[in-house]
């Protein structure tokens, strides 16, 4: 047995990403147990958080995706309970979950982001199309796993796309479509010690990298190494680290990018509790960097902290 004590792997929950979280948590739980960690599954949809203290848990590995697990709420509760947990604290988690506000932080620091606009029921949709061009993407600002995202190819589709995104969140974004490819960079560590793993290029067979392409389809291609020119790779990793540090992230996270037609990278969003399923990207990048799945889980657990 090791020094981690009794560890709760937090998975499931109430968010729209519950099925993915259950898969992530099961994989993490098995990996930690295989390395002798006294790890147990804990689903907050089925048990009160107070049971963590009642049952003597000493650390929490957060494998909850989406609202209630990745948005600062759980992080705040665990901080008040004085339980170390994996990943970012309250502020960084809340900022990263809110795609609009994370863009504002990055924009203030001069980091490149795709042009976007906030939509509501009174928005002049024609003006949005004029500003951003077509195609464009409409998305809930505080959802993950591409839930509620619609690709809009002509102006007549925009009102329905807004209505679909608004079913999932009161804060809705329209975003310029960039066509040079989708990439992601996983970060491990905190502060100046943070390390960017090799980038991954995502090549979906579908119209874009939607929920099915992420979790269920076998024809989505993942390239790691991604095939970028070394200078492009270095720039993307540097931007990922700067974006990560700007939000105050720690432990680990994944920063997603889009490239424009000229190959210039733009920060898209940050994920502070990335997926850990068989299709997930963080384990793929770690493996290329020489870190097997169980070792990655241990490394993340080692960096758990309070607050």
Could you give the residue numbers annotated as active site?
Answer: 17, 145, 215, 254, 256, 269, 271, 275
230, 222 Cβ separation under 8 angstroms: no
Listing DSSP states for 199-256 in one string gives PEEEE-SSSSS-HHHHHT-S--EEESS----HHHHHHHHHHHHHHHHHHT--SEEEEE
How many residues make up the chain in this entry?
A: 307
Q: How far apart are CA 89 and CA 80, in angstroms?
A: 12
1: number of CA atoms within 13 Å, CB side? 7
End-to-end CA distance of the chain: 26
How does 142-160 read in b/e, with b if 16+ C-beta sit within 10 Å? bbbbbbbbbbbeeeebbee
> How are beta strands 150-152 and 59-62 bridged, if at all?
unpaired
Q: How far apart are CA 6 and CA 274, in angstroms?
A: 23
For residue 292, which phi and psi values (nearest 5 degrees)? -70, 165
252, 28 Cβ separation under 8 angstroms: no
């Amino acid at each position: 047995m090791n020094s981690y004590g009794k560890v709760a792997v937090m998975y499931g929950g109430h968010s729209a990403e519950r099925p993915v979280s259950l898969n992530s948590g099961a994989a993490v739980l098995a990996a930690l147990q295989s390395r002798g960690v006294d790890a147990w599954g804990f689903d907050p949809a089925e048990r009160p958080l107070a049971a963590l203290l009642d049952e003597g848990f000493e650390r929490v590995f957060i494998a909850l995706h989406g609202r209630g697990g990745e948005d600062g709420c759980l992080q705040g509760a665990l901080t008040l309970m004085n339980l170390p947990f994996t990943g970012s604290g309250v502020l960084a988690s809340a900022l990263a979950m809110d795609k609009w506000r994370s863009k504002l932080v990055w924009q203030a620091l001069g980091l490149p982001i795709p042009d976007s606009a906030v939509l509501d029921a009174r928005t002049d949709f024609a003006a949005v199309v004029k500003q951003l061009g077509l195609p464009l993407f409409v998305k809930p600002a505080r959802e993950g796993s591409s839930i509620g995202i619609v690709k809009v190819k002509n102006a007549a589709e925009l009102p329905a796309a807004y209505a679909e995104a608004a079913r999932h969140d009161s804060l809705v974004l329209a975003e310029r479509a960039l066509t040079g490819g989708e990439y992601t960079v996983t970060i491990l560590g905190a502060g100046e010690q943070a390390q960017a793993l090799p980038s991954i290029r995502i090549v979906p067979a579908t119209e874009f990298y939607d929920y099915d392409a992420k979790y269920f389809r076998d024809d989505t291609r993942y390239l790691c190494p991604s095939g970028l020119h070394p200078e492009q790779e270095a720039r993307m990793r540097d931007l990922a680290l700067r974006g990560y540090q700007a939000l105050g992230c720690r432990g680990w996270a994944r920063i997603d990018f889009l490239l424009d037609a000229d190959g210039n990278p733009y920060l898209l969003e940050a994920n502070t509790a990335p997926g850990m399923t068989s299709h997930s990207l963080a384990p793929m990048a770690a493996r290329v960097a020489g870190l097997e799945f169980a070792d990655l889980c241990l490394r993340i657990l080692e960096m758990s902290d309070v607050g």
